[in-house]
Amino acid sequence: MSCDTPAAPRPRRPFVLTGPMVAAMLVLFFGVIISVNATILTVALRTMPGVETRSAYEASQGFNTEIARQHERDARGWTADARLARQDGDVALSVALADRLGKPLAGFAVTARLRHPATSARDHEIALTEPAPGRYEARFDHIESGSWILELQAKRGEEVVFLSRSRVTLGEK
């Protein structure tokens, strides 16, 4: 009978931490950190650039005048009832403008801006038509579902006589 004995294991060399290894680990560690931060920063800036006005100073110059105009508009007591809904594959926006007594307000050039809460890249500008006195409507073909900020503006000639800002929600298809 033969007896096979296993070979004796080779002795392992002890682990030695060298200067080049430490340098490589530091470069890899900070390389990962910097690349993750750069990716997060790029995604954040693409989805929310953070710029609302080009020049805050210029916007501030007309602030008090605009506040006074808005107080005048509010004193009229006009209201807007806006509805945003899907109809036959399109999206319909209907707005009813009424005075303090509930009478329809007719004859205005009404525009709407649907602002996305996160980025201006998804905003939509819409001109509304008046099929009936005080009723303004528009249809458009593509808009994402979700919450939107609806800014309505009614003009008589060049004068803005009514401004409204409200939240509207568009449901799924």
Q: Tell which residue, 124, 118, 78, 75, has the closest CA to residue 99.
A: 78
Phi, psi of 65 (to 5 degrees): -65, -40
Q: What is the pLDDT of residues 116-125, one digit of tens each?
A: 887 777 888 9
- Is the model's pTM score more than 0.75? no
CA dihedral 162→68→54→110, nearest 10 degrees, is 10
Phi, psi of 125 (to 5 degrees): -100, 135
Q: What is the pLDDT of residues 4-53, one digit of tens each?
A: 777 778 888 888 999 999 999 999 999 999 999 999 999 888 877 666 67
| pLDDT greater than 80 at residue 71 | yes
CB 136 within 8 A of CB 167: no
Going 12 to 14 to 18 to 24, the CA torsion angle's sign is: positive
For the chain, the farthest-separated pair of C-alpha atoms sits apart, in whole angstroms, at: 115
